Amino acid sequence: LTEIPGHEGAGVVVKLGEGVKNLQIGDRVGHAWLHDSCGSCDYCLSGWETVCGQQHQTGFVANGCFAEYTVAEAAYVGRIPKEVSFSQAAPILCAGVTTYKALKETEAKAGQWVAVMGACGGLGHVGCQYAKAMGLRVVAVDFGEEKRDYALNTLKCDAFVDVKGKSNDEVVAGVKAAADGVGVHGSVILAPALAAYRQGVDMLRPMGFAVGIALPPGDFPVDVITTVLHRK
């Protein structure tokens, strides 16, 4: 890398480029992963700048947030309210926006079930809190009794399924049992394991959505018959 890396930073605007109208010196802003995109392709125009073929990431075309100063595109930073500290805001710019978008992509509505796989990790613990704030019922899927306690008593999830020592079928059965015996309306796959992808699809009820976030190497099989017939 020729630039200093780092994203999900927060700071104060100290200088404005020519023509910038939406910010002022002294504004408190957050600087996320996406540095910029073309702004004119079909993806950008439909709100999907993150798949734009001309996008750039923070820390690759300009110094990232480990630097003392960084240059950001004015259209790609967000204002931070004065009552929110920088340390509170920074995680929202990565784990927060990632899991919030993932939950929206499940299309689950208040009162419906979602499974958060890797529920107690860096992204998962934020996603569980968002899900509860959205009125969703949450099945936390993670590893071990310590995380069970954290998921149920701190994150206030509705159910916990421990994957420790369990087969794929046992994990799926546990989630389905918690979610009305039918399965979840949506799953958010944050655990970097191929098994989580198969489980994340299999635990869905008919017409459910699995949203993949983690990026483990390799491929994963799916049950073609139930995936097609149940419109997952």
Q: What is the pLDDT of residues 45-60, one digit of tens each?
A: 999 999 999 999 888 8
Mean pLDDT of 92-113: 96
CA angle 204, 127, 48 (to 5 degrees): 80
Q: Which of 67, 124, 59 is nearest to 98 (CA)?
A: 124
The percentage of residues in the chain with a pLDDT greater than 70, rounded to a whole number, is: 99
Output the pLDDT for position 2: 66
Output the pLDDT for position 138: 99
Tell me the domains of the chain and their CATH numbers.
9-84 (3.90.180.10), 98-229 (3.40.50.720)
Whole-angstrom CA distances from 42 to 32, 35, 39, 47, 75 are 22, 18, 9, 9, 18
* pLDDT at position 101 over 90: yes
For tokens 């996406």, the residue is: 34
The winner for highest mean pLDDT among 2-11, 63-72, 186-195 is: 186-195
Contact 207, 191 (CB under 8 A): no
Confidence of residue 33 (pLDDT cuts 50, 70, 90): confident
Output the pLDDT for position 1: 59
CA angle 189, 216, 5 (to 5 degrees): 95
Output the pLDDT for position 52: 97
Q: Which of 132, 135, 104, 80 is nearest to 209 (CA)?
A: 104
The percentage of residues in the chain with a pLDDT greater than 90, rounded to a whole number, is: 85
Mean pLDDT of 183-189: 99
CA–CA dist 194, 164 (Å, integer)? 15
Mean pLDDT of the chain: 95
Among 12-16, 33-37, 176-180, the least confident range: 33-37
Output the pLDDT for position 62: 81
Q: What is the pLDDT of residues 112-162, one digit of tens each?
A: 999 999 999 999 999 999 999 999 999 999 999 999 999 999 999 999 999
CA–CA dist 5, 42 (Å, integer)? 29
